[in-house]
Structure formats: C-alpha cells, structure tokens
Chain A
Amino acid sequence: MFKFFNPYRIFKINSILQKIVFFCFITVLTVGLVEALFLSPEDYLQKDSVRIMYVHVPAAWISLGIFCLIALISVSVFLFKNKNLILISKSFAPSGILFTLIALVTGSIWGKPTWGTWWAWDARITSMLILFILYALYILSFRTFKDPDKSNKISSIIAIFGAINIPIIKFSVDWWNTLHQPASISLTEKSAIHSSMLIPLIIMTAAFALFSVLIFLMKYNTELIKIKNKGLKRL
C-alpha cells in the first residue's frame, strides 16, 4: 500500500490535480455565492441574516472534518511509522485552522443580529475556540521543535488527544443549554431545512471542501520540496 506514497508519483499527480481542483473550486464557489446571496429565500424568522449560514456552517463542518482526518492520520503515524503520513496531516492543518477561524468570526457576526451579542461563552462556541487553539498548537509544534521525530510525536499526540473535543463540539447542543439550536441536518433523518436552503448549503460546502483540497495539494508539494532541499545539501 505504501508504494502509492512514492514522493515522485505524489508530486506529479499533485501538480496536475492543483489546476483541476482550482478550476472546479472557482466554478462551484461562483455558483454557490449566487445561490447563497441572491437566489435562496430569506428565513421567516431570521430574515436575510440567515445567509451567513452558507459560510458559517460549511466552515464549521470542514474544520471538524479536517481535524478528524488529522487525528486518524496521527494514529496511523504511530502504527505504521510512515513519514509521508505526517506530511499529509501537516498539509491539511492550514486550511483546518482557517476554516475554524471563519466559523468563529462569521458565527460572531451572525450572533449580533440573532442573539444580540457578538460573543457568548456557550458550550458550542467555547469548544470551537478550543479547536482553534488545538490547531494552533498542532501547527506550532512543527515550528517549535526542530527535531523532526520529536515534532512528529508531539503534533500527533496533540491531534489524538484533541480529537476528544470533536464529539464535545458535535453534541454540545444536546448535552448543555446553549444559544445554538440542535442540528437541523442529519444523515439518518429527514432534514429540517427546506431544499431551497439545503442546496446552496451543499454547494458552498463542496466549494469549501475543494478549497481545502487545493491548499492541501499546494502545501504538500511545498513540504516535499523542503525535504528534497535538505537532501540536496547532504549529497
């Protein structure tokens, strides 16, 4: 299986994929923005402020998804001792922290017209802030520790222990009394959102996912060249 992680093959595929993903991202984002800002209806209660949902919710979903992925890869790093795996998880981190920041900031903007406050120490918001701190610690661990083995180990520990925060974020609205409403979209049950709002939400989620893939591909190639640069000096 690990033959697939041949650096030459990955670099070549990445370089081609970058252009395709960039084109798809721009197309999907344009359609998503038109749908979210102009075509989707306003909410009967929240009026036009509901449009913030089209950036806030996908950003939160993707940030959680990326952290889950990083945690899973970190477990694999301990099991298989493959350095390519750490490169993969490291390359996902920049888009993960950005989406967490977007979720926090757009949530704060949405909170003002909806709840009358920019910030509240409610369970969902606080656990998202903890996720942001975990991402920051994960990224900083690579910069702080110069020894690659040490930084790989510490970053993996941060990701694995940080994964405890994921179910807390997901179920915080059920476990505690929070300002957030319970989940409106479920994979197993019928969605509480009308299709006129669900479709733009799905399109924007796809656009955000494509952006994270694009950043991942670019960052992975950057890290790969960095390693090869060190290798050249040893020749």
Chain B
Amino acid sequence: MISDLILMNGYGIYVWSAFSFTLISFLSLYFIINLQLKKEQKRFEENFSTLSEKQYSVAISQDIHKEILKHSGSKI
C-alpha cells in the first residue's frame, strides 16, 4: 500500500521530485524574504537608536515609525 503510493506505477520518481522541488522552492523563498524583512527591521532599530534627542522627537511623531518599531519587537 505505502510502496504503491511511493512508486506510483513507476512514475513516483517524477511526481515526488516535482512536488519536492515546488515545496523546497516555497520554503527557500519564504525564508529569504523573511530574513530580508528581519534584517531591515534590525537596521531600522539600530538607526533609530543612534538619533539625537531632537531627531528622535521628530521621528517618533510619525505613525509609520512607531508601527515598524512595534513589529520589530523593539523596546525603544
């Protein structure tokens, strides 16, 4: 029964390799984009922490900056 599912009348090698390639591609792209997102969030947090008091008050007044910091898990 299980061997039938794996072998698929001799077509298993083609079917499983096509599905494996698709799923590995999905995982790879997801992790690459997720890594880029985390890297940008970290860079934003670092840049934010180096701002002077005056620059900080201007930057923090913008909603988008607060939202980015919230989603990067920052305690700034």
Contact = CB atoms under 8 A, between A and B. Distances in A.
Given A55-B19, A106-B21, A232 B51 contact: yes
B15 A219 contact: no
- The interface residues of chain B, by DSSP majority, are classed as helix
B74 interface: no
Contacts of A37: 5, 15, 19
Contacts of B71: 11, 15, 221
Interface string B40-76: 1101100110010001001100111101100100000
A49 B18 CA distance: 10
A190 to B, nearest CB: 28
A101 B55 CA distance: 45
Nearest to B37: A222
A98 B23 CA distance: 11
Interface stretch (A77-85, A107-115, A119-127, A167-175): A107-115
Given A48-B11, A94-B29, A215-B29, A7 B64 contact: yes
A55 B51 contact: no
A221 B18 contact: no
B51 to A, nearest CB: 7
A109 B22 contact: no
Interface string A211-235: 1001100110110111011001101
Contacts of B12: 48
Given A109-B18, A110-B14, A11 B68 contact: yes
A106 B13 CA distance: 12
A228 B14 contact: no
A221 B22 contact: no
A102 B21 contact: yes
Nearest to A12: B67
A39 to B, nearest CB: 12
Q: Which 6 A-B pairs have the closest CB atoms?
A: A48-B8, A8-B64, A48-B11, A225-B40, A49-B11, A106-B18
8 contacts: A47-B8, A49-B8, A52-B15, A55-B18, A105-B18, A105-B21, A106-B22, A228-B44
Interface of B: 5, 8-9, 11-12, 14-15, 17-19, 21-22, 25-26, 29-30, 33-34, 36-37, 40-41, 43-44, 47-48, 51, 55, 58-59, 62-65, 67-68, 71
